[in-house]
Amino acid sequence: MAIFEIKKYGDPILREKAKVILKVDDGIKKLACNMLETMYSAHGVGLAAPQIGVSLRLCIIDVDLNKKSPSVMINPVIVSCDENKISGREGCLSFPGFYENVKRHDGIVVQYTNLNGEELEIEVQSLFSIAIQHEVDHLDAKLFIDYLPEWKRRFIEKKIKRNRNAGNW
């Protein structure tokens, strides 16, 4: 296993739509293992493949504090959403140090393929649901700051620019 560098905001791959995975082979399994190690070492609860520079539709999520039940989702598709929305403080490993409130659907139904190549459909709510929506967004080149009012997004971008100029990004 290996720990990868996590791409930060500004890297063009984060704005690329990720490609569908055609076959769950050893390469995909290895990618998932490396992503898990990378996510845990960065203390994250979710990571999408583009964040380590691989433009494929694969994401991993583990919202459990024990870090013992990660979900590996290949080609996840959100097939339905609750009307009800909830607001939660979100961060992103591609935006170290930034946390903002984002409104998302409470309940969703998601279809995906697991590492055994089985197609599954699950209904989830709250934290797990929010994490899946955040990661599926990554696969569609969407980032959590896109949900913020423009003034706030500009403010964050200015701060990031300052960090970058100081060599801290």
- Annotate each residue in 77-96 with x if it binds Ni ion (CB under 5 A) or - if it does not, as one string: ---------------x----
Q: Does 39 bind Ni ion (CB under 5 A)?
A: no
The answer to whether 60 touches 73, Cβ cutoff 8 Å, is: yes
Which of these is catalytic: 83, 123, 135, 157?
135
| Total residue length of the chain | 169
Q: How far is the CB of 26 from Ni ion (least distance, A)?
A: 26
Q: How far is the CB of 59 from Ni ion (least distance, A)?
A: 9
Q: Of the two residues 92 and 132, which places its CB atom closer to Ni ion in the complex?
A: 92
Those residues whose C-beta lies under 8 Å from the C-beta of residue 81, and which sit 6 or more positions away, are 105, 107, 108, 109
Q: Of the two residues 90 and 112, which places its CB atom closer to Ni ion in the complex?
A: 90
Euclidean distance between CA atoms 135 and 8, whole angstroms: 15
Euclidean distance between CA atoms 88 and 140, whole angstroms: 21
- Is residue 135 among the annotated active site residues? yes
Q: Of the two residues 59 and 74, which places its CB atom closer to Ni ion in the complex?
A: 59
The answer to whether 55 touches 107, Cβ cutoff 8 Å, is: no
Q: Of the two residues 54 and 92, which places its CB atom closer to Ni ion in the complex?
A: 92
- Annotate each residue in 53-82 with x if it binds Ni ion (CB under 5 A) or - if it does not, as one string: ------------------------------
Q: How far is the CB of 144 from Ni ion (least distance, A)?
A: 6
Mark residue 97 as left, alpha or beta (left: phi above 0; alpha: psi -120 to 50; beta: remaining). Answer: left
Neighbours of 9 (CB within 10 A): 18
Structure tokens at 162: 């300052």
> Catalytic positions, please?
135
Point out which residues bind Ni ion (CB under 5 A): 92
